[in-house]
Amino acid sequence: MASSKLALLGGEPLGAPSADTHPSFSPHTLDRVVEVIKSGRTVGLNKTTPEIGEAEAAIAEWQGVKHCLLASSGHAALHDCLMGLEVSWGDEVITTPFTWGASISCILHNNAIPVFVDVCPDTGLLDPAKIEAAITPRTRAILAVHIFGQATNMTAIREIADRRGLVVIEDGSQAHGAIHAGRKVGTFGDAAGFSCMGGKLLATAEAGYMVTPHADVYYKAALCTQHMGRSLEPDYPHEKYDRYVDSLVYTYRLSPVFAVMLAEQVRKLDRENLGRRQNVKLFRERMSGVRIVSFPAYAPDDDPVYHMLTMNFDADYAGIRKSTFFAAVGAEGAGCFQYIPSPIPTWPRFHWQTYDGPKVMWTEALRQSGIDYRAVAVPNCERKIARSVEMGWNYVEPSEEKMSRLASVFQKVEENLPALRDWERANAR
């Protein structure tokens, strides 16, 4: 590509290709949604509601897990996991400092204690090699997050958990269909939570689901989050739980309106994931020779999905700040951003020793545990955050032309690095 002046410096922007509309709904899906609304069936308490039963069966089959419990959000689904596994007051949960807050707030909302261990610096995924040293007599669970659709090494985590008597929870909210060791994520844990809000791969408007191989985990979660409706299901273990069924619950049930969307959307998810993967392959091929960013490497039998695409910025090679790089790419029309702002244990609401903001429900549990997040060292997490570059990846239909145009933005920025260095020096404050 012939060099041209950057738009940030007064040149003409290349213009990045537009993403595909996502989520998209077929006419059949829209007709079904309208029919449910017209019928007045906007509340469903259990699998005997046809739309709830259909969606839960479709998702369980697609995931390859026996039990599926619909939920009102991804956070609710993860909270379902904690409650279904009875991970509660004072229990320690080993997890990642590099994630969206909902992966951690579900632990806090059950009065359990997050224990952060470091990540792999290129992917930001929980590093199994760091887990053993963090296990104490109070450790009850490991919660792994498949951030950016990358599969955490669940083989290693499952081995540690089984040997040490721990339960495993997967957060697959950005990873519907991601593969580790030839299996879909969500099939390794004792429970897994997924988000299905409108920005995710399996997208509705706002929804989520928990999957588990254990009937007891399903019913315990239902007991805590689904009012009394699940006790009406044919397989409900009345002899175990009837005396405890009441309305002291989190109301996490999902409307049949959104359940219809889920049942329909899951049918086209594999095709859409394939298109996203093909576009990433095309983009990476066209980025060959570009050194300003690099891509994480994955094991041969791992296959990510792409809710977002993560890359790593090479500041030493570029000779500019990442913020300058973002500005240059953005001016050309391609949006890049940093998804995780800082390691989660650095956030003020964890620091019960000094926190003076509005009262939060987990402060007393943290105080009684004695944990001091101010002393947590996660250098690889800090390194990933310093280098991390993300792009939204709603490129669903394979397109060589779009991927070539997108790569040309990065090529143009790289070719103009000397001018960017001068611009940065001139605008230093």
Which regions in the chain score pLDDT beneath 70? Answer: 1-3, 429
Residue 241 lies in a domain: yes
What are the structure tokens assigned to 262, written together? 């889920």
CATH number at residue 215: 3.40.640.10
Q: What pLDDT, on the 0 to 100 scale, is given for residue 227?
A: 73
Residue pair 171/95 in contact by the 8 Å Cβ criterion: no
Does some domain include residue 407?
no
Pairing of strands 208-212, 191-195: antiparallel
Residue 371 domain-assigned?
no
Q: Which pLDDT tens digit goes with each residue over 26-37?
A: 999 999 999 999
Q: Is 137 inside any structural domain?
A: yes
**Is 405 a member of any domain?**
no
Q: Which strands sit side by side in the sheet containing 191-195, from one edge to the other?
A: 67-71, 208-212, 191-195, 167-171, 139-145, 92-95, 113-116
Could you give the number of structural domains in the chain? 1
Residue 364 lies in a domain: no
Can you read off the two tokens belonging to residue 237? 């273990």
Q: Is the pTM of this model over 0.95?
A: yes
Helices (H), 267-373: 269-286, 315-318, 322-332, 363-369
Confirm whether 320 is domain-assigned. Answer: no
* Residue 310 within a domain: no
Residue 51 vs residues 26, 58, 167: alpha-carbon distances, Å: 17, 11, 31
* Predicted local confidence at residue 2, as pLDDT: 42
What are the pLDDT digits (tens) for 3-26? Answer: 599 999 999 999 999 999 999 999
Domain containing 165 equals 27-267
Closest residue by Cα to residue 366 from 380, 383, 345, 392: 345
Q: Which residues of 237-269 are buried (b: 16+ CB within 10 A; e: fewer)?
A: eeeebeeebeeebbebbbbbbbbbbbbbbbeeb
Other CB atoms within a 10 A radius of the CB of residue 279 amount to 24
* Res 3: pLDDT: 55
Strand partners, 194: 209
pLDDT of residue 1: 42
